[in-house]
Amino acid sequence: MNTATATRYAYYPGCSLTGTASEYDASVRLVLERLGVELAEIPGWTCCGASAAPAVSALLALALPARNLALAERDLPGCDVLAPCSACYLNLLTARQEARRDHRLHARVQEALEGEHLPWANAAPVRHLLDVLANDIGPARIAAAAQRPLAGLVLAPYYGCQTLRPYAAFDDPEHPTSMDAVLRAAGAEVLEWDKGARCCGASLSTTRRQAALPRIAEILRAAAGADAVVTVCPMCQMNLEAFQRQAGLPGPVAVLYLSQVLGLAMGLDPGQVQLGRNLAVPPGFLARLREVPPAPGEVVQATGTG
């Protein structure tokens, strides 16, 4: 685990964040900068294989993410690898964990990477954005940076699957809570619900839409009491925001990335966190956001920063 002094991370945005989830990427970079965290993008990173590689090649499923870990190790030594995308995160983490568990596997992956003369010692820890926010940075620093706390806003923390499972790296994989403190630090209220770790259907929304829709509907219906659902994964974000009508939702439900929420709380305007790219930010949510009082003088005091 990083100590508070290590504020530099090897940043692995992943393909989605360069495409459909560019708003996630933008807001992550902005927010972490404000929190005094340096993100050094892994030079020459490539795709982690997403959910496709394991379904096609067992070796590629590990070698693709391992290649990126090897790059980080070589070019950004000593840094933890930070991934905001849960699918990327899990692929990276799986490569790391499986190679640690099974040294023959490690050797095979090393062999695959040999063509590029890329050594991989498997030294760099893999961290999810949420992990870093909740545990390295911590609610206190977030609260301190939240100049425009989202008082009165009720948010439903949605973790998705691959953030939590199967490794249970930083949270309870059945009943996660790590986002609660982060959202509270942003001044928001947290919706008590039990769908935060439910599956959104993932790529089934592409391959088997009808199978995915009930998942999406179940989650969004349960979020009825919240002003918005907060995600930490582009896949979840896409599923929850793009298929609301097909899933039979009566009205639109706002779905935001966690980094966007934090950005808003830090006083960034919706444009800066690229709220306009979200597929589901109903006007009602924007109105609620405007109700949030502008930063008063005595901002929530940071407590016990230690």
Query: Quick one: which of 36, 78, 214, 293 contacts another protein (CB under 8 A)?
Result: 214
Beta strand 154-157 with 126-128 is unpaired
Is 38 an interacting residue with respect to another protein (CB under 8 A)?
no
With respect to another protein, which residue has the nearer C-beta, 25 or 227?
Answer: 25
The site string for another protein over 122-161 (x = CB under 8 A, - otherwise) reads ---------------------------------------x
Is 305 an interacting residue with respect to another protein (CB under 8 A)?
no
- Evaluated on CA atoms 140, 134, 85, 125, the torsion sign reads positive
Contacting range for another protein; rule: CB under 8 A; set: 17-25, 139-147, 148-156, 295-303: 17-25
Shortest CB 122 distance to another protein, Å: 16
Is 165 an interacting residue with respect to another protein (CB under 8 A)?
yes
Query: Quick one: which of 26, 30, 35, 53 contacts another protein (CB under 8 A)?
Result: 53
Query: Quick one: which of 2, 7, 46, 147 contacts another protein (CB under 8 A)?
Result: 46
CA distances from 218 to 3, 37, 109, 196, 283 (A): 39, 36, 40, 11, 23
Q: What phi, psi does 95 have (nearest 5°)?
A: -60, -45
With respect to another protein, which residue has the nearer C-beta, 36 or 166?
Answer: 166
Token pair belonging to 269: 């305007």
Token pair belonging to 301: 């005091």
Query: Quick one: which of 174, 250, 291, 303 contacts another protein (CB under 8 A)?
Result: 174
Nearest to 263 by CA among 189, 191, 188, 186: 186
Shortest CB 65 distance to another protein, Å: 11
Is 56 an interacting residue with respect to another protein (CB under 8 A)?
yes
Is 100 an interacting residue with respect to another protein (CB under 8 A)?
no
Q: Backbone dihedral region of 44: left (phi > 0), alpha (psi from -120 to 50 degrees) or beta?
A: left
Is 63 an interacting residue with respect to another protein (CB under 8 A)?
yes
Is 291 an interacting residue with respect to another protein (CB under 8 A)?
no
Shortest CB 111 distance to another protein, Å: 6
Burial 243-253 (b: 16+ CB within 10 A, else e): bbeebebeebb
Is 217 an interacting residue with respect to another protein (CB under 8 A)?
no
Is 199 an interacting residue with respect to another protein (CB under 8 A)?
yes
Q: How far apart are CA 227 and CA 155, in angstroms?
A: 6
- Contact between 157 and 210 under an 8 Å Cβ cutoff? The reply is no
Is 209 an interacting residue with respect to another protein (CB under 8 A)?
yes
With respect to another protein, which residue has the nearer C-beta, 147 or 246?
Answer: 246
Q: Is 278 helix (H, G, I), strand (E, B) or coil?
A: coil
Q: For the chain, how many residues are written?
A: 306
Q: Residue 82 corresponds to which amino acid?
A: L
CA distances from 124 to 5, 78, 85, 160 (A): 17, 7, 17, 24
Q: Which of residues 79-98 bind another protein (CB under 8 A)?
A: none
> Which residues lie near another protein (CB under 8 A)?
15-16, 18-22, 44-47, 49-61, 63-64, 67, 108, 111-116, 161-162, 164-166, 168, 172-175, 194, 198-204, 206-212, 214-215, 242-243, 276-279
